[in-house]
Amino acid sequence: LGTFISDIFFVQQSTFSEDILRLKKSLRCSKNLRSLDIFLDTHGLIRFGGRLRNADVPYEQKHPLLLPSNHRVTDLLIDYFHQRLKHPGAAALQSWLQREWRIQSAQRVIRSRLRLCISCFRVRPRSLQPKMANLPKYLKSRLKSPISRK
């Protein structure tokens, strides 16, 4: 295994230890992973099953590695590819990352990481809402209070 894959192995062991034991015993996984169709590969890594089993694509794209949303390695991976791909938007970055990794709550995590990018913040400054002007005098005199008495 390469060093990066061994890092992913460590991340999965520290985050999904109970689920890995359950997968080895062919038991049901925890509630948040049940719907993901996950399995252990030959190296003991958790991979996502998905619908690409019969597709003519590399194994890593058919069965991406599962990464937790709340781990520093996931944040570093998102930041690295965000800079390497020249600061794409959240949707483009998520699409690119999903080729090899399945990140839990990916959309939320990627958006929160991109909000911390200073380069993206400078390029896309928020426009200020202009303050509304006062009404002209001729309109003020025509307006009556909704509770006015005659």
Instruction: Report if residue 91 sits inside a domain.
Output: yes
Instruction: Report if residue 20 sits inside a domain.
Output: yes
- What integer pLDDT is reported at residue 1 of this predicted model? 47
| Both tokens assigned to 148 | 């006015």
74 Cβ contact list (under 8 Å, min separation 6): 11, 67, 68, 103, 109
Instruction: Report if residue 60 sits inside a domain.
Output: yes
pLDDT for 57-78, tens place per residue?
Answer: 998 899 999 999 999 999 999 9
Residues forming a β-bridge with 102: 66
Reported as half-sphere exposure (CB side, CA atoms, 13 A), residue 117 has a value of 23
How many Å apart are CA 5 and CA 9, to the nearest integer?
6
Instruction: Report if residue 146 sits inside a domain.
Output: no
Instruction: Report if residue 56 sits inside a domain.
Output: yes
Do the beta carbons of residue 96 and residue 88 sit within 8 Å? yes
Give the count of domains, the chain. 1
pLDDT for 130-149, tens place per residue?
Answer: 888 887 777 666 666 666 55
- What integer pLDDT is reported at residue 35 of this predicted model? 80
Do the beta carbons of residue 103 and residue 140 sit within 8 Å? no
- What integer pLDDT is reported at residue 143 of this predicted model? 61
Look up the pTM and report it.
Answer: 0.75
Domain hosting residue 18, numbered range? 3-123
Residues of the chain with pLDDT under 70: 1-2, 125-128, 139-150
- CATH number, position 74: 1.10.340.70
Do the beta carbons of residue 117 and residue 82 sit within 8 Å? yes
How many Å apart are CA 123 and CA 129, to the nearest integer?
18
62 Cβ contact list (under 8 Å, min separation 6): 50, 52, 53, 55
Instruction: Report if residue 131 sits inside a domain.
Output: no
Q: Which alpha helices (DSSP H) does the chain contain, by range?
A: 3-15, 17-24, 59-62, 72-84, 90-97, 106-114, 118-123, 137-142
Which residue type, as a one-letter code, is found at position 5? I
